[in-house]
Amino acid sequence: MLLLFQLVGGLVLAMAVHEAGHALAAWRHGLVLQEVRLGIGRAWAGVRVGAVVVSLGRVPIAVSIRFQGTDLTAGDRASIAAGGPVATAVLGALVFLAAYLGHSPHPWYFLSAVIGLGAWGELLPVFPLDGYRVVAACREASGR
């Protein structure tokens, strides 16, 4: 049972780090964070934390963020889309390194592999994944 809690907690952490990577990249391009939604679908509950609304969606399987501001170049959109997978890959590497250096049990290696594969999976050029957004922004920048 402890293993299940570790894996679920690790995946929730990976989703939070992924979205934080997008938020950091967007902040570097001058966008303002408006909402963080835990789950998909219409929000059924929420609370305002400063200027940001944190809400719960109907189906708790994903995390999404919304920004204010739209004057972005294609390169800006590509770097914001890539920010999430890059942050997730760094987290996976850190979990692996901590497990290796701490001589941790097997589940931590498994968790690092799941997080790392998730980061690479997000870069697949398939809608609605981040890879699709990166490719679309690069195609737009090249005029195709």
Out of 68, 85, 118, a domain closes at 68
Containing structural domain, residue 61:
32-68
Are 87 and 19 within one domain?
Answer: yes
Are 90 and 118 within one domain?
Answer: yes
Beta partners for residue 45, in sequence order = 56
| pLDDT single digits (tens) 50-105 | 888 888 888 877 788 888 877 889 999 999 999 999 999 999 999 999 888 887 77
Name the least confident of 6-10, 34-38, 97-101: 6-10
Are 117 and 90 within one domain?
Answer: yes
What is the count of structural domains for the chain?
2
Are 11 and 79 within one domain?
Answer: yes
User: Using CA atoms, how far apart are residues 125 and 112, in angstroms rounded to an integer?
Assistant: 23
Residue 20's alpha-carbon distances to 27, 83, 87, 138, 143, in angstroms, are: 10, 8, 8, 22, 30
Residue 15's alpha-carbon distances to 3, 39, 64, 71, 139, in angstroms, are: 18, 11, 9, 27, 27
Model confidence, pTM = 0.84
Are 136 and 102 within one domain?
Answer: yes
